[in-house]
Amino acid sequence: MTLSNGSCMLFMCFTAILMATTALADPHEIQTTDFTEEFGDDFEDVYAVSAIGELKMHLQFDLEHQLVAGAEFTPRGIVTIVTSASNPKSVVSFSALPPLSVDDVEKLNFLLQQDRFYTVRAKADPDDPQSPYVMASVPMCMLAVMRLREDFAFHLSDSGKLVAIEYLTPYVESDVCTDSRTRSLEDMHLSPSGTVFKVQGGPLPPKNVVGMRDRAPQGVKPVKSEENNDEPEEASQSFLRKYWYIILPIIVMSLFGGDGGTAAAGRTAGASATPAVSERQR
């Protein structure tokens, strides 16, 4: 009897400890363990994957510029673009921008006085040594008017590659550009800023375009195409439809002319028959 009571007490204590452990355990861990035991490696815990909003894409490329028309491009800094799925607006930063030397300022002044273009370029795929370059140019006078403040637009593809570079520097009139040629760029420095534009889906052109079919020239019979099952149009119009302006007057003249001749002939015959009847009556 004593052994039986002791066994019952031990069983009750074990049950209480098990229930307390289950109550204190994380229900998510218990459910995850059950699913893992049931489905094995096919089960993937969605909580173990970081949120989509935390995923970021970094694109970094070297920016080069051309200070003399036809000369080689030289480095002018690094551009870093950070794109986040949770933030529709990308962050653009410029680093390692070298200061303009005296020689650089002289070359920029020459571009300004000669009304030349200032050009920049970057590789479309920085990881590919054979990648082509994308380029952008702006009249040097416009940069001088803006005191070398640049506003770039970087166009990216779906895969995060650089598609195009665009200058968003405000346009100025020609007379303002002419006045800016006398300015000096010695106390100025390049101040870039950037905006990112991503590819957006748009309407697709139709695959099969059906153009307007012209009527076949007179005397030419259209040939039925093998690819087109439509019946060919009539090659020519009917005879009456083509020459109605000639046929209609002839018909009208014939109708009116025939009635007048018949009436005149009837009056003449009646006049000649009247004396004959009179003579018989006598």
Tens of pLDDT, residues 245-277: 888 888 888 888 755 445 444 454 444 444 444
**Interatomic CA distance for residues 138 and 119, integer angstroms:** 7
Taking the alpha carbons at both ends of the chain, their separation in whole angstroms is 176
Domain residue ranges in the chain = 62-79+90-198
pLDDT for 169 equals 87
Closest CA to 133 of 148, 120, 141, 121: 121
For residue 43, what are the β-bridge partners?
Answer: none
**Interatomic CA distance for residues 187 and 24, integer angstroms:** 70
Q: In a structure prediction context, what are the per-residue pLDDT tens digits for the chain, which is 282 residues long?
A: 444 555 556 556 555 555 655 544 445 554 555 545 555 554 444 444 444 445 788 899 999 999 998 899 999 999 999 988 777 789 999 999 988 999 999 999 999 999 899 999 999 999 999 999 999 999 999 999 999 999 999 999 988 899 999 999 888 887 888 888 878 888 889 999 999 998 777 777 777 776 666 666 666 676 666 655 555 445 455 677 777 788 888 888 888 875 544 544 445 444 444 444 444 444
For residue 135, what are the β-bridge partners?
Answer: 121
pLDDT for 213 equals 61
pLDDT for 74 equals 95
* Burial class of residue 73 (count of CB atoms within 10 Å of its CB; 0-12, 13-18, 19+): middle
**Interatomic CA distance for residues 208 and 30, integer angstroms:** 58
pTM more than 0.75: no
